[in-house]
A and B are shown apart, each in its own frame.
Chain A
Amino acid sequence: MAALPAEGADGAGGDVGARVADGAADAVRRAPAGPSMPIAQLAVVDPSQPIVLDRVSRWYGNVVAVNDISFSLGAGITGLLGPNGAGKSTLLHLLAGLLRPSAGRVLIGGRPAWREPSIYREIGLVPEREAVHAFLTGRAFVELAARLQGLADPVAAAARTIATVDMAGAADRAVGTYSKGMRQRIKIAAALVHEPPILLLDEPFNGMDPRQRLHMMDLLRSMATRGRTILFSSHILEEVERLADGILVIYAGRLAAAGDFREIRRLMTDRPHTFRVRSSDDRRLASAFMAEPAVFGSELRDERLTVRVSEFSGFTRIVARVARDAGVRLFEVAPTDDSLESVFEYLVTRRAGGRR
């Protein structure tokens, strides 16, 4: 089955806002006229975007690491998710031109990534593994990157980007003396030194402490608002949820879903939605809900009202009115399973045949 057939570039406007592939496709058929969010760009392959994958596969002997994946990305932050071994790093390496696709095309700024050194002016890559010589000072390492890029004033460029990642204080120490978080930041400085419009990061938050994480999120966000295309892989779903405009989920080498994760959740119509409700009179509200066709169950346990609904918008449209008509004060209404955590779990357990 062709996972995500390229749909042509001109499907703008009322296109699918998010997509779930394969087994979930049944839920997606009735493509809703999604709001024209920037996320919509993810779902449709638009060859004019800075990053384009067109039916890309990569295999190592008999092992298929990336299997027929298509997407395109524009300005903004995209989170790349998937279990260990799903093919995330292979995908990032294909994008960085470090691996030749076994089939399909990888385009960076319209040019094939493989064997095209000019793309290195456009991408900054932050690999997961340490790729820093311990004996160099942080500054020397970043200046080296600046020289490799052929910048006119490598010293100034290095100083500027070192300040960006907040490493000026430690720049003249050997990298070998750095903590993990500091090494990570100096790698990011080196990747940014030529101010590339595309940034690829493999687990950038690894080893960072809470303060450094906050700083890095602010940094990536501000770069995205300035029009950069940022793709980062991460296992920390809370962070992806807060940082990314859209997600790509890779499972067993295939693209399992792409887009805004809340929209992806809404497309999974085979899963009932649940809401947590707090009110001045939960018992009364619960019985009032039972008269509504959109609700197929409500449960009051330990002073907590949980409502199971068949259709998301069917419930959100009536909840306030039902409460008002029943004369109940609403304190809280919140979907309980639309976090990235639960969306990811649904996507992955579905694929693992419900094993896990």
Chain B
Amino acid sequence: MPEGTARYPDPVSLIATSGLTKRYPGAITALDGLTLDVEPGIIGLVGSNGAGKSTLLKILLGLLEPTSGSATIFNLDVATHGIAIRELVGYMPEHDCLPPDMTATDIVSHLALISGLPKAAARERTAEVLRHVGLYEERYRAIGGYSTGMKQRVKLAQALVHDPRLLLLDEPTNGLDPAGRDEMLELIRRTGTEFGIAVIVASHLLGEIERVCDHLVAIEGGKLLRSAPLVSFTERTGTLAVEVEEGRDALVERLTARGLRVAIDGSAILVDLVDEAPFDIVRDTVVDLDLALVRMEQRRHRLEDLFRDDPSVAPVAPLAAAVPAAAAIPPPLPPADR
């Protein structure tokens, strides 16, 4: 590690860890030899509850010491360059951490002062970031009266106020409704692209990760599961999904007769793409049968496939016993079992 080059490191590596391990008392291993290297960008961090995401974030922030191994941010070792890293990193925690009786302006400028900004600069930056996150007149009211969406914005603003080069966001859309989520995701995207700030988003919502991130890091059981550009997780598969308005069965029959391998999934017909010929066969058969073609597209891999491989999540089997068939209209249950 380039110890001496601390002043303004060349940002080729955003975060890098090597054999990073964290054990908690009671033989709980949260991180188990995690090794990864990520370049700046908007990075999604996913993993099951207990996979080690929070532990990783805390180690990166210098709030926890690893049991063994090392971690760097912008090539600065988290164990030895805590202060320098704090200047470069903004953190938006998941939990509700804002004092209800302070105003947004007061708390954000207070945190700016703590970050070492001079008073005038703190005031200016506060006004700037609150405008950036979309808080206007409300900023002079006590946070206790804010909606969830407004609180999330304040949390984002305080993470940005000291002009960091990396933002760590922990479940940034928690509790937001669809419009609030859209706005927050758009804000994250803009912060990452227009201002060139690297962002790490920890989230359980894979759809969200897919919308804003360009790189994905998945960890599982304290180890790296996969780290790759997002597009590589959602490549097209060799299955063509076809939906028609009516006449699905006739289409299936005709396609099968023409030698295609066909399966049915809900309202869609799945066609095996051995080569490009099926595209024309489907098109022509739809015309011949005079059907309405609602949708025809290649299926894509999904991010959640990452979490599907485990056979223990297979449906039905363990459930069958506990869920008896119930009639649509419940007869009053027997006064049973007293």
Contacts and interface: CB of A to CB of B under 8 A. Distances in A.
27 contacts: A74-B328, A83-B177, A109-B332, A151-B336, A179-B50, A195-B323, A195-B326, A207-B204, A210-B48, A210-B206, A210-B306, A211-B310, A212-B48, A213-B204, A214-B308, A215-B313, A218-B316, A223-B319, A235-B181, A236-B205, A316-B292, A320-B286, A320-B293, A321-B287, A330-B279, A330-B296, A334-B296
Nearest to B290: A317
A210 B202 CA distance: 12
A116 B139 CA distance: 47
Given A152-B337, A163-B318, A324-B284, A319 B307 contact: no
B307 A164 contact: no
Nearest to B329: A50
A130 interface: no
B207 A236 contact: yes
B258 to A, nearest CB: 15
Interface string A255-280: 00000000000000000000000000
Contacts of A161: 322
Nearest to B325: A226
A208 B149 CA distance: 20
Given A227-B326, A317-B292, A118 B178 contact: no
Taking residues whose C-beta sits less than 8 angstroms from the other chain, chain A's interface range is 35 or more
A75 B48 CA distance: 32
Given A164-B318, A214-B307, A235 B176 contact: yes
A163 B177 CA distance: 32
Contacts of A238: 205, 207
Nearest to A329: B279
A226 B326 contact: yes
B323 A223 contact: yes
A93 interface: no
A194 to B, nearest CB: 8
B338 A152 contact: yes
Contacts of A121: 332-333
A172 interface: no
Contact of B318 (A166, A223, A313): A166
A135 B103 CA distance: 36
B321 A160 contact: yes
A174 interface: no
A151 B337 contact: yes
Interface string B270-303: 0000001001101110110011111111100001
A200 interface: no
Contacts of B308: 214
A48 B329 contact: yes
Contacts of B176: 84, 235
Nearest to A198: B330
B296 A333 contact: yes
Nearest to B209: A210
A222 B315 contact: yes
B46 interface: yes
A344 interface: yes
B297 A334 contact: yes
A286 interface: no
A333 B316 contact: no
A345 B180 CA distance: 12
Contacts of B50: 179
B324 A195 contact: yes
Contact of A218 (B180, B181, B315): B315
A316 B313 contact: no
B210 to A, nearest CB: 9
Contacts of A115: none
Given A49-B329, A166-B318, A211 B296 contact: no
B181 A50 contact: no
Given A122-B333, A335-B295, A345-B178, 19 more contacts: A83-B179, A84-B149, A84-B177, A109-B329, A153-B337, A209-B47, A209-B204, A211-B307, A222-B315, A222-B316, A222-B320, A223-B319, A226-B324, A227-B327, A238-B207, A320-B283, A320-B284, A331-B279, A333-B297
Contacts of B49: 179-182, 207-209, 212
A303 interface: no
Contact of B319 (A164, A196, A329): A164
B295 to A, nearest CB: 5
A122 B330 contact: yes
Contact of A333 (B293, B307, B333, B337): B293
B204 A118 contact: no
B147 interface: yes
Contact of B283 (A153, A323, A334): A323
A48 B329 CA distance: 8
B105 to A, nearest CB: 24
A194 B332 CA distance: 13
Interface string B240-275: 000001000000000000000000000000000000
A252 interface: no
Given A152-B338, A164-B318, A320 B287 contact: yes
Nearest to B298: A332
